[in-house]
Amino acid sequence: MKMRGRWAVLLIAAAAMVGCSGPSEVQLGAIISLQGSAASYGESIQKGIQVAVDEVNAAGGVDVGGAGTQVPLSVEIRDAQSDPQVGLQEAQALIGMGIPAVIGSDSSDVTLAIADLFQQSEVVLISPSSSTPQLSDKGSFIYRNFPSDELEAINMANHIYNVAGLHEVDIISSQSEFGLGIKRAFIERFRMLGGRLGVQVSFPAEAADVSANVHEMVDTEAEGIYIAGYSSETARAAQAIRAAGIELPLFGTGAILPEELVADGAEAVEGLVFPTPAFDPEGDSENVRAFIQGFRSKFGEGFDVYAAHGYDAVMILVQAIEQEGYRADGISFYLNAMNPFPGAAGETTFDEDGNARKFHRMIEIRNGQGIPFVVEANVPVGDQ
């Protein structure tokens, strides 16, 4: 268990302060992927960040430490290019600027690569989309407002075993950090429920064609197939599965962007079911309405769960700075004791390892769109 406390060694951030009157600006950082395989996620997160910054500044700015004086908010965005080494270089640059908190990254590979540096530098890092279990062991300055693979695996395994009533599945996974991590978490939970595992295969994350990887799945005893990967990887796997004549039900991960999945996978992904963190664009909470109104005003349509988590990450950090000041130790202290934050992507609190306590709902690709899964009367339900 991590030891998180207010009395950690203070971040040296004098360069960001103006005399004794506090900062003239609150500057946060963001390391996200605007190029490469994770660009779809990074672009959504960037839009959510921009919506949050505009909203905060339109309201007057950030009241640092509750001193009664508002200052502008800005976020220095750096492109990790979906590359852990590039992400590490950008992390060094942002830490060198004296920024006390950074949002990032989008892919688990990049976030894992930069987490140790943030912990050693005692700068807060909060990821709006990384779900790998390994992030839980990275230290007291590392957070995520996106649910971990463990929570996702519990929800997905429960759905397949108890709701869909399927007790044996084959698995195909990407060899990325995310793909392998979520696969392990899913297997552990599915076995705990009494589920059986059939064929298990994997493919390189950069593979353009995975047809050769699915031959073992033809004529197995499995009742369904779990695909562990990002949107484009899931689409490629689904196409290969259907091309091989396999018509079993397909299930995916919480990393799926429905529009990208359908664009890449076409008819092969029809009927695929996947979990997504809580984000209800039809919700009537004030924060959901503010996020959607701000997003539409700036970008039109296209808001999604990742944009919502990027927006929430900014708002959570702003709330921490207004309560505890513009220092990493104060921000960390606030996050540890934070009451449930009613964000655009649902309520957020953090456990002792900096993980968000959040759950998922199931989405089904139906007629080329991702819609909430509805349990129908003829769907078998196993023992709870």
- Indicate if 57 and 181 belong to the same structural domain: no
Q: Peptide bond preceding 107: is omega within 30 degrees of 0, i.e. cis?
A: no
- The answer to whether the CB of 182 falls within 8 A of the CB of 253 is yes
Listed in sequence order, the residues at least 6 apart from 373 whose beta carbon sits closer than 8 Å to its beta carbon are 159, 273, 361, 362, 363, 364
Range scoring the smallest mean pLDDT among 39-48, 72-81, 372-381: 372-381
Minimal CA–CA distance to 169: which of 232, 241, 244, 254?
241
Range scoring the smallest mean pLDDT among 9-23, 169-183, 233-247: 9-23
Q: Which CATH number does the domain housing residue 179 bear?
A: 3.40.50.2300
- Indicate if 181 and 251 belong to the same structural domain: yes
Is residue 5 a part of any domain in this protein?
no
- The answer to whether the CB of 133 falls within 8 A of the CB of 181 is yes
Is residue 226 a part of any domain in this protein?
yes
Is residue 381 a part of any domain in this protein?
no
> For 326-343, b where at least 16 C-beta lie within 10 A, e where not — what string?
bbbbbbbbbbbeeeebeb
Is residue 3 a part of any domain in this protein?
no
Distance of CA 121 to the CA centre of its chain: 23
Rounded Cα–Cα distance for residues 35 and 47 (Å): 15
- Packing angle of the helix pair 84-96, 108-121 (nearest 10 deg): 30
Q: What is the pLDDT of residue 376?
A: 53
Q: What is the pLDDT of residue 375?
A: 58
pLDDT confidence tier of residue 80, bands split at 50, 70 and 90: very high
CA dihedral 110, 111, 117, 123 (to 10 degrees): 140
pLDDT confidence tier of residue 360, bands split at 50, 70 and 90: confident
Q: How much is the average pLDDT of 262-272?
A: 96
Per-residue pLDDT at 377 exceeds 60 = no
Q: What is the pLDDT of residue 47?
A: 98
Can you give the residue range of the structural domain that contains 115? 14-148+281-359
- Indicate if 235 and 156 belong to the same structural domain: yes
Q: What is the pLDDT of residue 172?
A: 98
Bridge pairing between strands 224-228 and 250-251: parallel
Q: What is the pLDDT of residue 21?
A: 60
Share of the chain above pLDDT 70, in %: 92
Is residue 378 a part of any domain in this protein?
no
pLDDT confidence tier of residue 380, bands split at 50, 70 and 90: very low
Query: Which of the 8 DSSP states describes residue 163?
Result: I
Q: What is the pLDDT of residue 98?
A: 97
- Indicate if 138 and 192 belong to the same structural domain: no
Residue at token pair 């050693």: 120
Q: What is the pLDDT of residue 357?
A: 87
Minimal CA–CA distance to 45: which of 240, 307, 261, 379?
307
- Indicate if 32 and 44 belong to the same structural domain: yes
- Indicate if 183 and 212 belong to the same structural domain: yes
- Indicate if 300 and 368 belong to the same structural domain: no
Domain count for the chain, please give it.
Answer: 2
Per-residue pLDDT at 6 exceeds 60 = no
Rounded Cα–Cα distance for residues 85 and 276 (Å): 29
Q: What is the pLDDT of residue 3?
A: 44
Per-residue pLDDT of 171-214, as tens digits, reads 999 998 889 999 999 999 999 999 999 999 999 988 888 999 99
Query: Which of the 8 DSSP states describes residue 357?
Result: -
Q: How much is the average pLDDT of 267-294?
A: 90
Please give the C-alpha separations between residue 337 and each of 179, 323, 345, 352, in angstroms, as whole numbers.
32, 12, 20, 10
- Indicate if 116 and 165 belong to the same structural domain: no
Q: How much is the average pLDDT of 352-361?
A: 89
- Indicate if 64 and 154 belong to the same structural domain: no
- Indicate if 226 and 268 belong to the same structural domain: yes
CA dihedral 95, 111, 206, 182 (to 10 degrees): 180
Is residue 377 a part of any domain in this protein?
no
- The answer to whether the CB of 79 falls within 8 A of the CB of 91 is no
Q: What is the pLDDT of residue 18?
A: 37
Per-residue pLDDT at 237 exceeds 80 = yes
How big is the chain, counted in residues? 384
CA dihedral 182, 188, 189, 190 (to 10 degrees): 100
Q: What is the pLDDT of residue 207?
A: 86
Rounded Cα–Cα distance for residues 253 and 232 (Å): 12
Q: What is the pLDDT of residue 4?
A: 45
Per-residue pLDDT of 134-177, as tens digits, reads 999 899 999 999 999 888 988 999 999 999 999 999 999 999 88
Question: Two tokens at 266?
Answer: 């076409």
Rounded Cα–Cα distance for residues 268 and 209 (Å): 14
Mean pLDDT taken over the chain: 90
Is residue 294 a part of any domain in this protein?
yes
Question: Two tokens at 239?
Answer: 């196409």
Alpha helices in the chain (DSSP H): 39-58, 84-96, 108-121, 149-158, 177-193, 231-243, 258-265, 286-299, 305-324, 328-337
- Indicate if 160 and 249 belong to the same structural domain: yes
Rounded Cα–Cα distance for residues 212 and 78 (Å): 37
Share of the chain above pLDDT 90, in %: 80
Q: What is the pLDDT of residue 325?
A: 97
- Indicate if 45 and 138 belong to the same structural domain: yes
